[in-house]
Amino acid sequence: MILVDLLKNKFGFDEAFNYKEEQDLEAALKRYFPSGIDIYFENVGGKMLDAVLPNMRFNGRISACGMISQYNVQGDGVRNLGHIVTKLLRMQGFIVSHYYHMYPKYMEMIMPLIKQGKICYIEDVVEGLESAPAALVGLFSGRNVGKQVVVVARD
């Protein structure tokens, strides 16, 4: 519940739910998006992608950033890819390393928005390089709340 509150009240999402508390992801998405989904930012893959596909609207777009549910498993197959054909969906991946040359331009764009409070973020900070392995493993079980940062040394 705390996470849902955070998403709605701090980050300003219209709706949010905790996938760990839902028996049927497809039904949950239908409940929260009764008219369907136009744009889906994919960070999870697997069962979540499978539940999203039938809920996509015609000509919907999926921006594929990551598939964290799939990194440590094999064969958690996606069955609903046919919706890409029948609903004329477009799905495109991207990877940050292809865009490093745009980083200075990104900083110019993002810094004023952060200062104005139009974009906000939360950091989950752990101290010391020795904390890094546990912090990394914690990403796969939702231990962190906010961007996981490891402080190697403080000046």
Please tell me whether residue 139 binds ligand NAP under the rule CB under 6 A: yes
User: The tokens of 45 are what?
Assistant: 């893959």
Residues 37/55, Cβ–Cβ less than 8 Å? yes
Please tell me whether residue 66 binds ligand NAP under the rule CB under 6 A: yes
Please tell me whether residue 131 binds ligand NAP under the rule CB under 6 A: no
Please tell me whether residue 63 binds ligand NAP under the rule CB under 6 A: no
Please tell me whether residue 94 binds ligand NAP under the rule CB under 6 A: yes
Please tell me whether residue 147 binds ligand NAP under the rule CB under 6 A: yes
Please tell me whether residue 68 binds ligand NAP under the rule CB under 6 A: yes
Please tell me whether residue 148 binds ligand NAP under the rule CB under 6 A: yes
DSSP lists the bridge partners of residue 151 as 127
Please tell me whether residue 44 binds ligand NAP under the rule CB under 6 A: yes
- Residue reference for tokens 């046919």: 82
CB of 71 to ligand NAP, least distance (A): 7
Stretch that binds ligand NAP, among 24-32, 81-89, 92-100, 112-120 (CB under 6 A): 92-100
**Rounded to whole angstroms, how far apart are CA atoms 19 and 147?**
19
Q: How many residues bind ligand NAP (CB under 6 A)?
A: 16
Q: CA angle, 132 as apex, 74 and 101 as ends, to 5°?
A: 80
Residues at the site binding ligand NAP, with contacts judged by CB under 6 A: 43-44, 65-69, 94-96, 139-140, 142, 144, 147-148
